[in-house]
Structure 1
Amino acid sequence: MNPIDAVRINFNPDQLFLLNICLAFLLFGVALDLRLDHFREILKSPKSTIIGLSSQWILLPALTISLILIVQPPVSIALGMALVAACPGGNVSNYAVHLAGANAALSVTLTSISTLGAILLTPLYFSWLSQLIPGSEAYAGTIQVDSGQMLSTILQLILVPIVLGMGLRWRFPEFTAKIRRPVGILSMTIFLGFVFVAVYANFQQIVDYLHLVFLLVLMHNFLALTGGYWFARWNKLPPADIRAISIETGIQNSGLGLILIFNFFDGLGGMAMIAAWWGIWHLISAFSIATWWRRHPQEIGQEAAL
């Protein structure tokens, strides 16, 4: 057993409750931007939506397992990678796509569907992917999670805040328009503040073990971003859709992953380190690539010509 497999992140039940609230509030803020029209986009332009979901639900898990089999990291780290790949798209992807000048409507549609789909798909995907990881049988007692319990947790963390947010927008549109930006800023500030406190409380563990996950997360995220980009481009989608799908594939809801890790895996060190560092790094990578694309809009025409 690798030493990181025995590491337990310092996290108590009160902090877990606060993290649950933070994530639910973050999703509530995202839901304030959602309308039923976003879901009707599937019927109007199904190809881009299908390609985007295929990139997240098929390509990313395949790339993840391939990377695990090639690199062969410690088992708990591999399980963390599998869980991240099984999570839905991240909440900051919509803003990053907008910043990049790409198809924001497609981004919102993909985030919404993958988030709602996570209610069933995240437990199923993780259960399937974990069986493909060499050595995971040693963690059989840990990873045999009650799917019903995980489903209940995800329902509370995803479905409830999304329904509340969309319901508020539908019932009180003017009020929602006033609070949407402040709620978005507040939710992100609270979440980042919580991450900072959690990092500070586990600073020594991060110093001791970050080197084991640093490059691995970079490779994993790079594969997700570039894989999504080339998969969409290979399917001859419009350039703005290509960029949106690239970001959607590379931004995963690692906050949800962390909650599941602390709820069901007792804060298993390798898993928690992967999810925590992914949560930090994908912000850096997403906004870096979005800023680059925003400064090079002329390259959209070049992408279309290739």
Structure 2
Amino acid sequence: MLELDKVQINFDSKGLWVLNIALAVVMFGVALGITVNDFKILFKQPKLLFVGVISQFFLLPLATFFLVKLIEPQPSIALGMFMVAACPGGNISNFITQLAKGNVALSISLSAFATLLALVMTPFNFHFYSKLYEPTAQVLNTVELDSWELVKLVLLILGLPLVLGMGLRLRQEALALKLSKLLKPLSVVVFIAIVIIAFLKNLDVFNTHIHHVLFIGIGHNILALALGFVVARGFKLSYENQKTLAIETGIQNSGLGLLLIFTFFNGLGGMAILAAFWGIWHIVSGLLIAFFWSKHKTVAV
């Protein structure tokens, strides 16, 4: 059996282009629902902004690094963990927050700001921690990752759709709202379909190697959810905001992670399988925790 680090996921260049477009459309649909007021809400409550940014872009990548040092997974799996931790929050976090009876306005505002901040922080965090851990640094040396190319792709996939979507919302609000209702479900369905097709093309690979990432992916996601909740609690935020911060930290844009993996690492086995599993599992864990929180109205001390 081939070592996991040598397994390559079968995903051709045509499929990669479609994945690029689908993810950009998803982000455009999300941006149509974002207004300048969403950013103003955060700046009026700097404590919420500070805690959200610290939890997602500083503590989660750092905690992931220590988790990797502790369990010492295969290098490609460790790279997948660093990639997922470096990505901004997933676009379903707002929906999960609503189900969990969290602060939806805060969730939307943090998602918007996180997407903006991710233009810089996603490439930085991934490159920094991957280089800091010796086994993953060796893998990076073999693929010759161009950091500027990584930044450019993140700008193209996140930055451009964000600017265009918010611009359209500002100028044509009625049209933007109609498009948002249409594009969000459509683009997500297309994106999921692409991921499913990728799975079907590599069914043998996933069946053979999924056990390598199963418990790591679940444990990593639980760590992210718990981290967001504990940090928010430590800063004495309301119970509603604690739930929101947990979801924003634990629901990551693994679709972006997969795209970067296919683009720069040719679908390196452990990375792609970990990110793909996370993309499925965080929906399951998010729905489970939302159901639990929606039934429990305990107020944190």
Asked if these proteins are the same fold (TM beyond 0.5), I'd say yes
Amino acid at match of 2:27: L
1:235 alignment partner in structure 2 = 235
Q: Do residues 180 (structure 1) and 180 (structure 2) align? A: yes
CA RMSD of superposed structures (Å) = 1.5
Shift of 1:240: 1.1
Query: What is the CA deviation profile of residues 142-178 of structure 1, one whole-angstrom value per residue up to 9, with x for unaligned ones?
Result: 4542122111111110111111111121111112222
Cα distance in 2 for residues equivalent to 1:169 and 1:140: 40
Contact 2:88 2:122 (C-alpha < 8 Å) held by counterparts: yes
Aligned length: 301
1:202 alignment partner in structure 2 = 202
Cα distance in 2 for residues equivalent to 1:214 and 1:228: 22
Amino acid at match of 1:115: T
Once superposed, which parts of structure 1, at least 4 consecutive aligned residues long, lie more than 3 Å away? none
Cα distance in 1 for residues equivalent to 2:283 and 2:236: 27
SS in 2 for 1:169: helix
Shift of 1:42: 2.2
Cα distance in 2 for residues equivalent to 1:228 and 1:180: 28
1:152 alignment partner in structure 2 = 152
Q: TM-score, normalised by structure 2?
A: 0.96
Contact 1:55 1:249 (C-alpha < 8 Å) held by counterparts: yes
1:164 alignment partner in structure 2 = 164
2:125 alignment partner in structure 1 = 125
1:43 alignment partner in structure 2 = 43
Cα distance in 2 for residues equivalent to 1:58 and 1:263: 25
SS in 1 for 2:188: helix
1:64 alignment partner in structure 2 = 64
Query: What is the CA deviation profile of residues 110-152 of structure 1, one whole-angstrom value per residue up to 9, with x for unaligned ones?
Result: 1112211121111111111012324224314245421221111
Shift of 1:180: 2.0
Gaps of 5+ in 2: none
1:271 alignment partner in structure 2 = 271
Cα distance in 1 for residues equivalent to 2:181 and 2:114: 23
Query: What is the CA deviation profile of residues 46-94 of structure 1, one whole-angstrom value per residue up to 9, with x for unaligned ones?
Result: 1011101100012111211111111111011001101111111111111
Amino acid at match of 1:49: L
Identical-pair percentage: 42
Range with bigger deviation, 285-294 or 221-230 = 285-294
Cα distance in 2 for residues equivalent to 1:161 and 1:211: 36
Q: TM-score, normalised by structure 1?
A: 0.95
Amino acid at match of 1:36: V
Q: Do residues 74 (structure 1) and 74 (structure 2) align? A: yes
SS in 2 for 1:94: helix
Query: What is the CA deviation profile of residues 198-241 of structure 1, one whole-angstrom value per residue up to 9, with x for unaligned ones?
Result: 11111110100000001000000000001110110011001111
Gaps of 5+ in 1: none
